[in-house]
A = this chain, B = another copy of it.
């Protein structure tokens, strides 16, 4: 068969980029249902902050794979919610010191269990063995 259009052997629905976007969308839906008050990005920053302890803004961004412009907005919104506090570092006056407030630590503690449920529900279509395989392969694509 002749065809005057470009070949149709490119099927969007089979491309890894499209599938990643769809899987991310589904995960986002699950996340919003179980943790309504925080976005995945905000929770990631808060969780990493509780995991690492006090740090600086850009360092927290690097630890959570956010660039400087992105982490700034996340920090601003978490501060607006009263979950973190920022102070200028006296030793290096460029640095913005970031730490979790008591409310932030408590919020993380409360959301932590939900977050584990979110991960479980996201992976629920797969068997336990498949989940482990998937996470292993996905880790190697980062």
Contacts and interface: CB of A to CB of B under 8 A. Distances in A.
A12 B112 contact: no
Contacts of A40: 17, 21
Interface residues of A, number: 52
Interface string A80-114: 00000000000000000000000001001100100
A40 to B, nearest CB: 5
Contacts of A64: 12, 18
Contact of A135 (B16, B22, B119): B16
A14 to B, nearest CB: 7
A141 B126 contact: yes
A112 B6 contact: yes
A17 B27 CA distance: 7
A118 B17 contact: yes
Interface in A104-142: 105, 108-109, 112, 115-116, 118-119, 122-123, 125-126, 130, 133-135, 137-142
A1 interface: no
Contact of A119 (B6, B7, B16, B47): B16
Interface of A: 5-8, 10-12, 14-27, 31, 40, 44, 47-48, 50-51, 64-65, 105, 108-109, 112, 115-116, 118-119, 122-123, 125-126, 130, 133-135, 137-142
